Amino acid sequence: MIGVVNISTFYIVLTVIIAVILFAMIIGIHEFGHFITAKKFGVKVNEFALGMGPKLISKQGKETLYSLRLIPIGGYCAMEGEDEDSDDERALNNKKWWQRGIILAAGAFMNIILGIVFMFVIQVQQPYYASTQIAYLVSDSTSMNAGIQLGDDIYSINGYRTHCATDISFALSTAKDGKIDIAVRRDGKKLEFNDLHMAVEDFNGTKVTTIDFKVKRVDKNVWTVISNTFTETYAYVRMIYSSIIMMITGRVGFNEVSGPVGMASAIGQVAEAGFKYSFMDGLNNIINFMALITVNLGIFNLLPLPALDGGRLLFVIIEGIRRKPIDPEKEGIVHFVGFALLILLMIIITIKDVWSLF
């Protein structure tokens, strides 16, 4: 019993360490995107920080202060003229609108690049890949009786276009009571099979729709590794956008939204599930989850919401169209209100996540 407790404690500590390192990487690469493009366009960067709150260590560069701060959530690249006008010719506010747009978008772009790297690490380890082509049907099953055949390529499930196994899993996760519509490609034609009733299983307290067929295996080679890396990353992007739309339309409830505490709990769960088999399984589960998080961060930051990079980018694009800047004071008020609402939302989500833990 003592040995079991020690191993369990070891994996918990290890998970926390790995998660903090990967979170720092996600935040660092985002801010580095802003930093490197700012330097490229000659913008003065006053501070590059990882973490928030009080400084732990810092080093003054030629013009930039590099610092590591106490709270390992967040970070920033403080540029001259970012939040207020500056007369410095190297200030952000004095650069061309398209240059500012590139600097603002670079953080999210780097997050998506990191997501691709994480996904490559996962895909390169796989012995083979799953396609969307049906290779096996359960005898006398719902799909077989509906007319679905071997060799059919799954085109969509419940209207959600399926390019890979992740798309299929996501589409099934949104199915209600096991009722699905499947469209397939057969001999160049699209065929639809509607109102198919699949089995529903309980998975850790969550109702999951299952399927009565298996898909064809794709052999591993250089091309399929690269292809699956980009296809699966694209699937994550589509999944995030679809989830946002479902939240806006009310298909996904507030209880299914998570903040840092909820993500930390989820990381622990996926790590624990993997560590039951081996260290590498646990590590790969964390990396796969981090791929989703970093792509999520990149996409979310590009949304045209006040205080986010996407909101600032929207103002820059409007300026480029109007050929004159928007009143900085009015823009500042919009971003301030947006930031306050964002912080309030994060506090509410964090309280909800902590409550859920208990």
List pLDDT tens digits, range 121-161. 999 999 999 999 999 998 888 999 999 999 999 999 999 99
Clarify whether residues 299 and 349 are in a common domain.
yes
Q: Let me know if residue 117 belongs to a domain.
A: yes
In a domain, 317, yes or no: yes
For residues 351 and 262, give the distance between their C-alpha atoms in angstroms, rounded to a whole number: 10
Assigned domain for 54 exists:
yes
d(CA 111, CA 272) in angstroms, rounded, equals 26
- Same domain, residue pair 174 and 74: no
CA 145 to chain CA centroid, nearest Å = 38
269 has pLDDT over 70: no
Q: What percent of the chain has pLDDT over 90?
A: 37
The enclosing H or E element of 268 equals helix 260-275
pLDDT at site 155:
95
Give the pLDDT of residue 120: 96
Q: What mean pLDDT comes out for the span 183-202? A: 89
On whether both 109 and 168 belong to a single domain, the answer is no
- Return the pLDDT at 343: 67
pLDDT at 240: 80
Distance CA 276, CA 67 (A): 38
Examine the domain organization and report whether 85 and 155 are in the same domain.
no
Which one is predicted more confidently, 253 or 300?
A: 300
Rounded (10°) angle between helices 260-275 and 2-40: 130
Six token digits for residue 133: 């082509």
Structural domain range at position 37 = 2-123+292-357
CATH label of the domain that carries residue 165? 2.30.42.10
Specify whether 71 is located in the same domain as 26.
yes
Is pLDDT at 220 greater than 60 in this prediction?
yes
Residue at token pair 């399926």: 162
Asked if residue 72 and residue 179 are part of one domain, the reply reads no
Residue 256 confidence (pLDDT): 56
| 179 CA to centre of own chain | 28
Which residues are known to be catalytic? Answer: 31
**Tens of pLDDT, residues 28-87:** 999 999 999 999 999 999 999 988 889 999 999 999 999 998 877 778 899 998 877 888
Position 165 in a domain: yes
Taking each helix axis from N to C end, the angle separating 328-357 and 309-322, rounded to the nearest 10 degrees, works out to 160
More confident residue, 357 or 295: 295
> Could you tell me how many helices (H) and strands (E) the chain has, helices first?
9, 10
For residue 150, how far is the Cα from the chain centroid?
Answer: 34
Q: Tokens 């296809």: give the residue.
A: 231
Q: Predicted confidence band at 88 (pLDDT cuts at 50, 70, 90)?
A: confident
Quick one: 119 and 142 in the same domain?
no
Regarding whether 15 and 32 lie in a shared domain, the answer is yes
- Residues 175 and 86 placed together within one structural domain of the fold: no
213 in the same domain as 145: yes
Instruction: Give the per-residue pLDDT at 95.
Output: 92
Whether residue 45 sits in one domain with residue 84: yes
Strand-pair category, 189-197 with 153-157: unpaired
- pLDDT the model gives residue 296: 85
What tokens appear for 116 in the block? 């691709």
Give the model's pLDDT for residue 47.
94
Of 169-183, 208-222, 277-291, the one with minimum mean pLDDT is 277-291
| pLDDT value, residue 23 | 81
In a domain, 244, yes or no: no
Asked whether residue 303 is domain-assigned, the answer is yes
Highest mean pLDDT of the ranges 214-228, 237-251, 302-316: 214-228
Query: What pLDDT, on the 0 to 100 scale, is given for residue 275?
Result: 65
d(CA 190, CA 182) in angstroms, rounded, equals 10
* pLDDT above 80: residue 204: no
Q: Which of 185, 219, 253 is the last residue of a domain?
A: 219
pTM for the full model?
Answer: 0.81
Please identify, among 182, 199, 219, the residue that sits at the C-terminal boundary of a domain: 219
Q: Which of 30, 56, 35 is nearest to 46 (CA)?
A: 35
Average pLDDT, the chain: 83
The number of distinct structural domains making up the chain is 2
Spatial contact of 80 and 44, defined as CB atoms under 8 Å apart: yes
pLDDT at 44 (0 to 100): 94
User: For residue 11, is it within any domain?
Assistant: yes
19 & 97 share domain: yes
Do the domain assignments include residue 256?
Answer: no
